[in-house]
Structure 1
Amino acid sequence: MKIAKLSVLRPVAMSMVIVLILILGLVSLRDLPVDLFPEMTFPVAAVTVTYNGAGPEEIEQLISRPIEEIMSSIPNVESVSSTSRTGGALILVSFGWGTDMDFATLNMRERLDFIRDSLPREVPMPMVLRFDPSLLPITQLAITEPNGDLITAKKLVENEIKPFLDSVDGVAAVTVEGGTEQEIQLLVDPNKLNSFGVSLSQLQQIIGSENLNIPGGSLQDQNQNLPIRITSQFSSIYDLETLPIPTRQGTVALGTLVEIKDTTKPITQESYLNGEPSVGLSILKASGANTVTVSRGINKRLDEIKKNLPDGVEIKAIFDQSKFIEQSIRAVALNMLLGSILAAGVLYMFLRNFRSTLIIGFSIPISIVTTFLFMYFSGQTLNVLTLGGLALGIGMMVDNAIVILENIYRKRQLGYSLKDAAIEGTSEIGGAIIASTLTTVVVFLPIIFVDGLAAQLFKPLALSVAFSLLASLFTALIIVPLLSSTFMKVSDEDSSFQHGFSRVTDWYRGILQKVLKRPKMTIFVTLIAFLASFGLTPFIGQEFLPAQDQGFVGIDARLPAASSLGATFEMVQDIDRILENIEEIDLSYVTVGGTDNFSMAAGTQTNRANYNILLKELSDRTRSDVQVAEEIRNKLKGIPNADIRVSASDSGFTGDPVSITIKGSDTETLRAISDEVIEIISKVEGVREPSSNFTAGNPEITVNINRERASTYGIGSAQIASTINDATRGLVSTRLARSGDEIDVRLIVDDRYTTSIEDLSKLLIDAPTGEKVPLHAVASIDRDQGPNQIRRADRLREVTVRASILNRDLGSITNEIEETLRAEITLPAGYRISFGGQNEQMQDAFFKLGGAIALAVVLVYMVMAARFESFFYPFIIMFSVPVTVIGILVGLFVTFQPLGVGSLVGILILTGIVVNNAIVLIDYIIILKSKGVDTYEAILEAGPTRLRPILMTALTTILGLIPLTLGFGEGTEIQQPMAIVIVFGLSFATFITLVLIPSIFLLFDQWKEKRAKKKGLVGNVES
C-alpha cells in the first residue's frame, strides 16, 4: 500500500508526525474531563406548585388535573404523573429520549401561561425544573463540635468553612444542612394579654416599629451638610424588657406582658455523625467541570481550613464521588496494563523475538494516546465506561499490528530485504486488515439509532472502542512497517516453541484434510452443537445493569405518620446500637426528620430518618455492600412500629428492581390491591422489602368556620386563619443585632395554651368592635384523619409497589411475580397492573439492542461485500457469527452471569470481531486461487499459513480481557459481562471457524463450479 511505502521510505518525516501525535494526545489526556459516568441528559422535567392551606383532594382538582391536561398536549410527551399533597403539587413530565429539553421546558412554560387564569388566584406562578444529574452533590461533609454545640458548629460552618469552599474552582454551590440558630422568644399568656387589652398583632406592630435605625435627612451647620441618623435599635435583651407598651391600664414594660427567653429556634431536623450531633455540607460542581479536579481542590482547601479550626472540631467526608471515580479508573487502568502484558507475552511466545515483540508493544501506547486525541475532539469524558472501552480494545488494538508484523516477518524469512519485506508484507495483507477493522467499527453505527438509558451509557463506550480500533489501524499501516524496516531481526534459531508450533500446524493440516473430505459432517456437528447450546438458556437469568459495589449503604426508616422528632430519635438510637456491631461500617451519618423528593412542598417529616453509611475500602472487607445491607436488613426487623428500607449498589439513575403500578379511580381500592400485591410478592424467593408508596393520612385538627356567626362579629376567615397561625407558629416581630449577628425576636403563645383542642378553642380573636372573641364562638374544632397525598399517572390515580432483590436475577423474579399475580389477583373493572422500574428499562434496552445487533450483522456483510467485490465470499464468512452463540451461552452459564445490557453490547462488539479471522483466512485463499491454485490445495495451504496470526490475534484479544472477565477492582462490574461474552464467544468461534469456514468454502465453491459447468454445457448445446 502507498501509505506503508511512504512510511518506510520517509522514516524521518513519519517519525516527526508520530511524535506530534503523541504530544497532542498527551495534552488531550491532561485536558479530558474525568467523571464516574458519561454526562447524561434525562428527558424528564417537573412542574412544582405551592398552594398553602389546601388539602390533597383540592389540589388534585384545582391544580394537578389542569396542568396534567395541558402538559399532555406537548409534542414528544410519553407520560405525565403527579403527586398532590397538602400545600402543593409536583407534576413530572417524561419526554421521549432524544428530545431537546431546552425547547421542551420552554414549551412547558408557554403552556402554563395558557392556564394561568384558570388556577386559583392565591397560587403563585408554577415553576418548571429540569432533572439534571449534575445537580446531585459530588461531596457531602459532616462537621462535629467537641461539646455538641450546634449553634457554634453552624456559625463555624457558615463563617469559616463555607466561604472558603465557595471559592474553589468548579464549585457551583455549597449548602448548609442541619444545626440550629439562636432565637429570642417572647412567650405570651393570652389571658394576661387580654387583661391589659392588647392583642398579639398589636404587640408585634409596636415591637417592630420601635426597633429602628433609619436616616432622617440632613442639616446645614457651619457650612457643613451633616446627615441625620435616627437610632432606636435594640442592642440587648434589657432593651426588650424595658420597652414601654401602651395598654388600657397604662404604659407597662414589655417584660411585664411576656416572658423573654434567649433560646434556639425549634428544630425539625437533626443530623448525627457516628452518634455525635453534626452539621452537614453538600457541595455541587459547576456544569462541565471535572469532578475529580473539583474534589481535589475541595480536599486541598479542607486541609488548609482544618489547620485554623478550634481543637476538637472534625470534618468527615460522608460521600466523595471522586474517591470511587479514582478507584474505578485505577482498577480499569490496571486491567488495561495487565491485559497489555498478557498480550505482549503471547506475542513473544509466538515470535520468540524481543525486537518484534517490542514493535507491537510500542504500538499499544501509540494507539491509546491517539484514542485520547479522538476522544478529546469528540467531546467525550474520561470515565469508567470510556476507559472500559479502551480496556476492551486493548487486545484488539494489537490484532492489526500482529497480522501485518507476522506477514512482514514471514516475508523476511523468505529472503526479502527489510524494506521490501515491510512494503510487500503490508501491501499483501493491508486490504484484509482495513476490512476487518471496518467490520468491527461498523457494528457500533447502529448504537447511534438506539435511545434510552442504555444508549446514554454505552454510546461513549462504543465510541472509545471504535476510536481505539481506528487508531490501531493507523498504527498498523504506518508505524509497524516503519519500525519493522528499521528494527526487525529474524531469528535463525529453531526454538523449542517454534518446533512445537510446527507440529501444531502439521496437526491442523491433518485435521483440515479429514474435514475437507467430509465437509457436510462438519457442518452437521456444528449445527447440533449450536442447537444444543440453547438448552442452557433456562439456567441463564436476565438483568438490566449489574450492581456496583460503591461501598455505600442507605437506610430509610419511618415511624407512623405524625410521630414526633423525639420518638424518631429514639428509633435512631436503637438502629445505632445495632450498627455498632457491624465491622464493615466506617462511618454513619443520619438525618432525623429527613425529607423526601417532594420536599419542595412537604417540608421535613419528623417521623422519618435517613442514613448514609460509608463502608470500609473494598480491600479491607470480605463482604460486598449488598451482603452488608442484607445483614443490616435482617437485624433491623425487630424494631417495633418502624418501616425500614435498606439499599445498596444504587447507581442513582436506574429504577427500583421491582416496580409494580396499580392504576384506577378510587384511592381506597388501590390501597387494598397494593396490600394484596405486597403480601403475594413477599413470598417470592429473592424479593426483599416490598412496600407501596401509599401513605396513610396524617392525623390533623380541622377548624370549620361558621361564617354566619363570624360575620356577626365582623371577623373574616383569613383573620381567623392568621390568628391561629400566629399563635401556634409565632411571628417574627423584629431582629436583634448582637455580636455581629442578627437574631430573630419571635412573638409566640406559650405552648401550654395550645397543647390541646380545648386550649386552642379558647384562643381570642380581635373583632373590629374591640371585643375579644374566643375561637369556639365562631368555629368548631375536630380531630380528623386527612389524606396525605394523591398520586396520578396519565390522568388516573395510582399506587406503586416497590421491592429490592437479592441472590436472584431480575428476569426470573419478574416472570415469577407476573405469573403469581395473574393467578391469584382478580382486578375490579377499570383497574390495571403494569410493571416498570428496571424491568421496563431492561425490556426496552433488550429490544433496541437486539435490533442494533441485527443491523450490525447487515452492515458487517455490506462492508465485506465492498471489500471482496462479491456477495459470495462475505456470505461464507458470515457463518462464523452464529457459532459465537455456543461460546456466549456456555460463558454466561459457567460464570453464573445473567444476560443483561452489558452482555448485549458484548455480543454487538463480538459480531464485528469474530469475522476478522475468517476474513484473513478467506482473503489468502482468494489470493492463492488467483494464482491458479486449486481450491482444495489453496485451503490446505492458507489454513496452516494463517494459523499463527489467527491464533495470535485471538489469544491477545482473549488474554487482554481476562482481567476484566475476572472482575478485578472497583467499578469493573459493568465491563465484566461484556468481557465474558467476548472471551468465551471468541474462544469457541475461533476453533470452530478454523474447520467450519474451510468446509463451507469448499462446498460452496464446488457448487459454484458445478453451476458454472452446467451453464457452460447448456450454452454449448444451444449454440
Structure 2
Amino acid sequence: MRDLSDISAPLARLALRRPVTICMLFLSFLVLGLVSSRLLPLEKFPGIDIPQIAVVVPYPGATPAEVERLITRPIEEALATISGVVEMRSESRDDASEVVLNFNWNDPISARGIEVREAIDTVRHTLPADVERIFVYQFNTDDMAVMQLRISSDRDLSMAYDLINRNLKQPLERVEGVSRVQLFGVDQPEIIIRLRPDALIATGLSTLDITQILNQANFTLNAGAVETDRERIQVKPVGEFRNLDDIRRLPVTAHLTLADVADIGYELPRPRAGRSFNQTYAIGIDIYKESSANLVDVARAATQVIQAADGHPEFAGIYLMTLDNTAESVTTSLRDLLAAGLLGAVLSIIVLYLFLRDWRVTAVIVLSVPIALFLTMGFMYLLGYSLNILSMMGLMLAVGMLIDNAVVVSESIKQEQQDAFARGETPNKTTIELGAGRVSLAIIAGTLTTAIVFLPNIFGEKQEITIFLEHVAVAICISLLASLLIAQTLIPLLLSKLITNGQPTAASDGRVKQIYLHSLRWSHRHPRWTTVIMLALLLSTAIPFIQVSGNQTDMAFNDRLFMNYFVTGQYKLEQVETDVHRLEAYLYEHRERFEIEHVYSYYTPGYAMSVILLKPDRTLSVSEIQRRIRADMPPLARSRPVFGFQGGNTSGVQVTLQGRSTAELERLADQLIPQMSQIQGLTDVQTATRNALDEIQIHLDRAQLERFGLSTRQVADQVDVALRGRNLRSFRHHPEGDMRIQVTFPDSIRRDVRELETLIVGQADGQLITLNQVAEFEQVAQLGAIRRFDRRTAVRITANLDEISLSEARAELQNLFGSIELPAGTSWSLDGGFRTQQQQNQIMLVNMLLAVALVYMVMAALFESLLLPSAVIGSLLMAICGAFWGLLFTGTSLDVMALIGLLILMGIVVNNGIVLVDAVNQQRAAGAALETALIEAASRRVRPILMTVATTVLGMLPLAMGNTQIGGDGPPYAPMAITIISGLIFSTITSLYFVPHAYSRLLAWRAYWADVWQHAGGPLRAPTKSSESNPLS
C-alpha cells in the first residue's frame, strides 16, 4: 500500500470513520434549508439604501428666479458643508425648489440624512416666512410600489372617490404586509368657502380677518385635567365644525354670518394632472409593502381584494387593470430560471451518465446539487439575505458548477480503485481516502479561485453594479463552498458504500482521448510551433474586440416604451390633454402594426408621458417599433413627443452645458441641437429644460394705496386668496375622514385677466376700490426652470440611440464638441449613460485585475510556488479570447451582463489548469520524468475536465438560447451565458495544450536563468536531476 503521508484528506477520513455523524450533519443541513426556503423573504430587489438625498421645498406662486434666489441658493450653501457629497443638482421651478445630493455607495446614508436636516435647520430662518414645509427624502429599493393598478370606465369616475376608497383602497390597506396605498386621479371632495368680494368689502373685513375667524372657530385643545377626590378627568375644549351649517352660521360681524359674505359647499379640487388608459380617463392605485413582508404573499392577498372589488355590482362597467405586478415578474423570472435550470440539469445528467456509464455513481454526484442548494438557502437566511432576482441569478449560475468537485473526486476515487485492482489489491476505505486526497488540493484551489473573484465586489469600492453583484456573489460563494464540503465528505462516504466491493468498469480511453494524447505529445516535442499557435490565437482577440459593440443601453428586452412629451409653452391641462389624446388615437389606429397591447398616459400642464405596453409575443424589435411610430407620427400643436426612459431620459445620451446664465445656455443649446441631430444614430435630440412661463407682475402704487387707506399686505393677501386660495384646519367630522377646507374667490378671477384687474380690494368713501386702481399690470416672460449642477447653472441636452452604441456616440460627440469654440466661462460634459458606462467599465476592469491577482495568490499559496501559477493564469487570456469570439459570432453586445459573465468566467476557467498542474506535480513528486508526468497527468485528468466543462456548459445552454430575463422584465441572461460558454469551451480546448506547454517552458526558462546566474557567479546553482523532480525547487 502506498504511503499516504504526502496526501492528506482529513475530511474524507472523518467521513469514512464517522458515517452516521456525517449523515446527521447533512440531514440537519437539509432541515435548515427546507425551513429557510419557507422563511426567506422573496423580493424583486434586495433592500438597498440608494446614496441619494432629495430636499424639496414647495413654494407655489413664485417665479423660478425668485425660488432660486430665495430658497435654492441658501439651501445649496448650507448643504455644501456636508462631507462626502459626490454631486449636487438643483432645479428651481415656479412651484418648488428641489436639491438632490448624490453620495458614494459606501456612505452611511442615514447619518448623512441627519446632517442634511441639521444643515437645513441652520438656514431655515433665512427662507421666506410663507415656506410651510421642507421635505427631506431618502430612497431605498423597498420604496418601490409592488403593484400598480389602473381603473378606467366609460362612466364618469370624477365622483367615484367614495366608491373606490370604500371598496378598494381601505380593504387593500388592511391586507397584512401592506404599508400604504396611494390613490390618485380621483379626489375627495373638499369644503370650499367662496368669498364674494363686494359683500366682504361692505363688511369692512379683509380676507385675513375671515381666515383668522375661521381658524379660531375650528379647533380642539387639550386643556389639562380636573382632579377630584376620587379621579382625574381630562378636559378638552372642543370648537370644531361638525357640519356645513356650523360653518354657514359662523358669525363674522355682530349682525352677519359667513353665509352672508360667501358661498359654502362641497366641491372637487381643481385637477392638477390627468391619466388615461386605453383612451379613457383612468384612476391609479399604487400598493406598497412593508420591508419585512413577503412580496408574493402581499401581492396574492392584494389580488384577491382586487378580484373581489371587480365582482362587486357597483363596479359594473369599471375596468381594473394591473399595470405592473412586481410579484408576477419575480415569479416569472423564478419560473423561467427553474425551467432553464431543470433543462440544463437533465442535459448535464445525460452527459454525465454517458461519461460514467454507472447510474449509481451518477446519482451520487447529482445528489450533491440539491443538498448544496438547501445548505445555501439555510446560510443565506442566517446571514440575513433575501431570495431576490440577484440571488436567484447566483444560484442559477452555481447549479452548473456544483457537481464539478464531486465529478473530480469520484473520478479520482475510481482511478485509485482501478489502480488497486491492477496491482492485485482489494480496494478499501484507504483507497477511497487516497483518491479523495489526490485531488483535495486541486478542488480546494479551484473552489477558492472561483469564489475569490467576487471578493473585490463584496469588500472593494462600492458602486451600483458592485452593490448588486454582492448578492449574486454571496449565493455563488456559499453554494460552491457547500459543494466543496460535500465533495470532501459525503461523496467519498457514499462511494465507499457503492463501489468498494466490486471492481469498477474501466473507462475506455476512446478515440478522442487517444487523439488528444497524440497531439499533446506533438505539442511537447514542438514547443516553438505550439508557442506560435498560442500567440496567434491570443492576438486574434483583437478582431472581435474591435467589432463587438459596447452598448450599455440595449432596450431590446423591454416590454414597454416610454414616450415623453416636452410641452412647448404654458397651457391649460385640457390643452395638453388634447395632444395626448391625439397621439393615443394614432397609436391605437396602428396598434396591430406597432404590436401594442395597452397605452397608459399621464399629463400635467407642463409635462406628459405615455407608457406603451407591447405585446408579449411580438415579432418586432423595440428599435423597429420606435422607427415605425416615428415615421408617421402626427405633429402636435403644443408638445414634442420623444422616446425616453421612465421618469425622463437618465440612461441615454446626455450632454450637460454649464455656464453663467440659463438664458445664455439655452441659446447655445439651440445652436448645438441641429448639429447633434446630424450625427447618424442620434434621435430625439432636445433640451431637457421646462417650457418658458408668462408672468403677470402687479406693481402696486403706494401713493394710491395710502390715498385709499389700504396696505400692500392687504392687497397682496386679497390677490393671493383669489388665485391660490388658503387652506384652513381640516374638517374632521366627515364620514369619509378629514376633509380640507379652503377659502378662495370665484373661479372667474383665475380664468380671465380682466376679472383679476377688477378684483375688489377695498372701499373708500362708500366706493369699491378695484385692483387696477392701485396697481399696474405687466406681462413678462420667465424661465420655466433653472437647473444647477454642483452650484453652477446648467442646461442638459438629451438624445436617444438608434442602431449606434454609446461608445460610438461618445466618439462622435467628442469630435463635434472638439471642433466647436464655446463661449468663455462655458463648459460641457457627457453624462447619463456615458457616465454610467464609464463607471461600470472602470469598476469591472479594476475588479477583474484584482481578481487575477487574488487568483494568482491563492494558487501560489496552495502550490507553494511563485512560478507554477503562471501556467494556469495563461488560460484566463484564452478564456477572454473565446468569450469575445463568442460575442462576435452571436452578434451580442458587450453589455453589463456580458461583463458579469467575464468576471465569473475568470474564476471558472482556472479550475482546469489547477487540476492539470496538481496532477503533474504529483506525478513528478513520484519520480516521473517531465514528459511522462505531463502525459500521464493529462491522461488521468482529461475525463473529469471534459465532464465538468460539459455539465457547466449544458447547464447554462438554456439561458444562452432562451429569452429568460432578470426579474421577468429586465436584461436577458443570454449575454452572460454566451460569454461564459464560449470562453469556457475555448479555454478548455486550448488549456489542455497551453497549460502543459507553459508548465514545461516555465521549468526550462527557470533552469536556463539559473544556469546563467551560476555562470555569472551568483549563489544559485542550476537544478540537478534530483532537484528537477521537485516542482517547487
Give the TM-score of the pair, scaled to structure 1.
Answer: 0.89
Paired residue for 1:670?
Answer: 665
| 1:567 Cα deviation from its structure 2 partner | 1.3
Say if 2:475 is the partner of 1:464: yes
Paired residue for 1:639?
Answer: 636
Paired residue for 1:222?
Answer: none
Paired residue for 1:597?
Answer: none
Say if 2:591 is the partner of 1:582: yes
Paired residue for 1:981?
Answer: 979
Distance in 2, Cα, partners of 1:770 & 1:730:
27
Q: Is the 8 A contact 1:140 1:280 kept in 2?
A: yes
Distance in 1, Cα, partners of 2:145 & 2:200:
49
- Write out per-residue CA displacement over residues 559-595 of structure 1, whole angstroms, 9 at most, x where no aligned residue: 33321122122222212212323244333333332xx
Distance in 2, Cα, partners of 1:998 & 1:310:
78
Letter of the structure 2 residue corresponding to residue 609 of structure 1: A
Distance in 1, Cα, partners of 2:671 & 2:621:
33
Residue 589 of structure 1 aligns to a residue whose secondary structure is: strand
| 1:177 Cα deviation from its structure 2 partner | 0.3
Q: Is the 8 A contact 2:194 2:264 kept in 1?
A: yes
- Write out per-residue CA displacement over residues 591-649 of structure 1, whole angstroms, 9 at most, x where no aligned residue: 332xxxxxxxxxxxx24333334444x3x33345565455444454533432213346x
Letter of the structure 1 residue corresponding to residue 494 of structure 2: L
| 1:658 Cα deviation from its structure 2 partner | 0.9
Paired residue for 2:97?
Answer: 89
- Write out per-residue CA displacement over residues 421-475 of structure 1, whole angstroms, 9 at most, x where no aligned residue: 4222111111111111111111111222132111112111122221121111111
Deviates more, 1:657-666 or 1:757-766: 757-766
- Write out per-residue CA displacement over residues 341-372 of structure 1, whole angstroms, 9 at most, x where no aligned residue: 22212211111211111111111111111221
Matches within 5 A, 1:550-699: 550-580=558-588, 581-583=590-592, 584-593=595-604, 606-616=605-615, 618=616, 620-623=617-620, 627-647=624-644, 655-699=650-694
Residue 69 of structure 1 aligns to a residue whose secondary structure is: helix
Give the direction of change, closer, same or farther, for the CA distance of 1:681–1:26 in structure 2 (3 Å limit).
farther
Give the direction of change, closer, same or farther, for the CA distance of 1:393–1:426 in structure 2 (3 Å limit).
same
Q: Is the 8 A contact 1:656 1:804 kept in 2?
A: no
| 1:191 Cα deviation from its structure 2 partner | 5.7
Paired residue for 2:440?
Answer: 430
Distance in 1, Cα, partners of 2:740 & 2:649:
44
Residue 932 of structure 1 aligns to a residue whose secondary structure is: coil
| 1:215 Cα deviation from its structure 2 partner | 14
Distance in 2, Cα, partners of 1:230 & 1:35:
47
Paired residue for 2:227?
Answer: none
Letter of the structure 1 residue corresponding to residue 607 of structure 2: R
Say if 2:781 is the partner of 1:785: yes
Residue 977 of structure 1 aligns to a residue whose secondary structure is: helix
Q: Is the 8 A contact 2:963 2:972 kept in 1?
A: no
Distance in 1, Cα, partners of 2:381 & 2:23:
23
| 1:118 Cα deviation from its structure 2 partner | 3.7
Q: Is the 8 A contact 1:82 1:792 kept in 2?
A: yes
Letter of the structure 1 residue corresponding to residue 525 of structure 2: K
Match of 2:348 among 343, 350, 366: 343
Distance in 1, Cα, partners of 2:474 & 2:33:
16
Structure 1 segments unaligned to the other structure (5+ residues): 217-224, 594-605
Give the direction of change, closer, same or farther, for the CA distance of 1:204–1:923 in structure 2 (3 Å limit).
closer
Matches within 5 A, 1:371-770: 371-414=376-419, 415=421, 416-417=426-427, 419-447=429-457, 448-488=459-499, 499=508, 501-544=509-552, 547=555, 549-580=557-588, 581-583=590-592, 584-593=595-604, 606-616=605-615, 618=616, 620-623=617-620, 627-647=624-644, 655-730=650-725, 749-752=745-748, 755-766=751-762
| 1:799 Cα deviation from its structure 2 partner | 0.5
Paired residue for 2:4?
Answer: none
Give the direction of change, closer, same or farther, for the CA distance of 1:695–1:184 in structure 2 (3 Å limit).
closer
Match of 2:322 among 317, 321, 324: 317
Give the direction of change, closer, same or farther, for the CA distance of 1:109–1:234 in structure 2 (3 Å limit).
closer
Matches within 5 A, 1:15-164: 15-124=23-132, 126-144=134-152, 147-151=155-159, 153-164=160-171
- Write out per-residue CA displacement over residues 744-773 of structure 1, whole angstroms, 9 at most, x where no aligned residue: 786654445664333322222125887632
Residue 683 of structure 2 aligns to a residue whose secondary structure is: strand
Q: Is the 8 A contact 1:179 1:271 kept in 2?
A: no
Distance in 2, Cα, partners of 1:126 & 1:736:
25
Distance in 1, Cα, partners of 2:214 & 2:1003:
104
Deviates more, 1:486-495 or 1:995-1004: 486-495
Q: Is the 8 A contact 1:137 1:284 kept in 2?
A: yes
Give the direction of change, closer, same or farther, for the CA distance of 1:816–1:22 in structure 2 (3 Å limit).
same
Paired residue for 1:888?
Answer: 883
Give the direction of change, closer, same or farther, for the CA distance of 1:644–1:243 in structure 2 (3 Å limit).
same
Paired residue for 2:809?
Answer: 813
Paired residue for 2:230?
Answer: none
Q: Is the 8 A contact 1:184 1:743 kept in 2?
A: yes
Q: Is the 8 A contact 2:521 2:935 kept in 1?
A: yes
Give the direction of change, closer, same or farther, for the CA distance of 1:308–1:229 in structure 2 (3 Å limit).
farther
Residue 27 of structure 1 aligns to a residue whose secondary structure is: helix
Distance in 1, Cα, partners of 2:178 & 2:626:
32
| 1:941 Cα deviation from its structure 2 partner | 1.7
Q: Is the 8 A contact 1:545 1:901 kept in 2?
A: no
| 1:862 Cα deviation from its structure 2 partner | 1.2
Give the direction of change, closer, same or farther, for the CA distance of 1:385–1:490 in structure 2 (3 Å limit).
farther
| 1:670 Cα deviation from its structure 2 partner | 0.5
Q: Is the 8 A contact 2:606 2:691 kept in 1?
A: no
| 1:798 Cα deviation from its structure 2 partner | 0.2
| 1:290 Cα deviation from its structure 2 partner | 2.9
Give the aligned length.
989
Give the direction of change, closer, same or farther, for the CA distance of 1:654–1:904 in structure 2 (3 Å limit).
farther
Q: Is the 8 A contact 1:356 1:489 kept in 2?
A: no
Q: Is the 8 A contact 1:318 1:587 kept in 2?
A: no
Q: Is the 8 A contact 2:45 2:141 kept in 1?
A: no
Structure 2 segments unaligned to the other structure (5+ residues): 1-8, 224-232, 1023-1033
| 1:926 Cα deviation from its structure 2 partner | 1.4
Q: Is the 8 A contact 2:565 2:639 kept in 1?
A: yes
CA RMSD of aligned residues (A): 3.7
Deviates more, 1:462-471 or 1:710-719: 710-719
- Write out per-residue CA displacement over residues 64-105 of structure 1, whole angstroms, 9 at most, x where no aligned residue: 223222322222112222111224311111222211111111
Q: Is the 8 A contact 1:336 1:390 kept in 2?
A: no
Distance in 2, Cα, partners of 1:847 & 1:753:
58
Q: Is the 8 A contact 1:545 1:902 kept in 2?
A: no
Paired residue for 1:602?
Answer: none
- Write out per-residue CA displacement over residues 772-825 of structure 1, whole angstroms, 9 at most, x where no aligned residue: 3221222101222122211111221000112222333222222222222322x2
Deviates more, 1:1010-1019 or 1:945-954: 1010-1019
Say if 2:283 is the partner of 1:279: yes
Deviates more, 1:345-354 or 1:906-915: 906-915
Residue 959 of structure 1 aligns to a residue whose secondary structure is: helix
Give the direction of change, closer, same or farther, for the CA distance of 1:755–1:148 in structure 2 (3 Å limit).
closer
Give the TM-score of the pair, scaled to structure 2.
Answer: 0.88
Give the direction of change, closer, same or farther, for the CA distance of 1:102–1:241 in structure 2 (3 Å limit).
closer
Distance in 1, Cα, partners of 2:434 & 2:94:
80
Give the direction of change, closer, same or farther, for the CA distance of 1:635–1:177 in structure 2 (3 Å limit).
farther
Give the direction of change, closer, same or farther, for the CA distance of 1:198–1:942 in structure 2 (3 Å limit).
closer
| 1:209 Cα deviation from its structure 2 partner | 9.3
Q: Is the 8 A contact 2:964 2:973 kept in 1?
A: no
| 1:236 Cα deviation from its structure 2 partner | 7.3
| 1:477 Cα deviation from its structure 2 partner | 0.9
Distance in 2, Cα, partners of 1:852 & 1:833:
30
Distance in 2, Cα, partners of 1:782 & 1:431:
86
Paired residue for 1:599?
Answer: none
Distance in 2, Cα, partners of 1:311 & 1:101:
45
Residue 380 of structure 1 aligns to a residue whose secondary structure is: coil
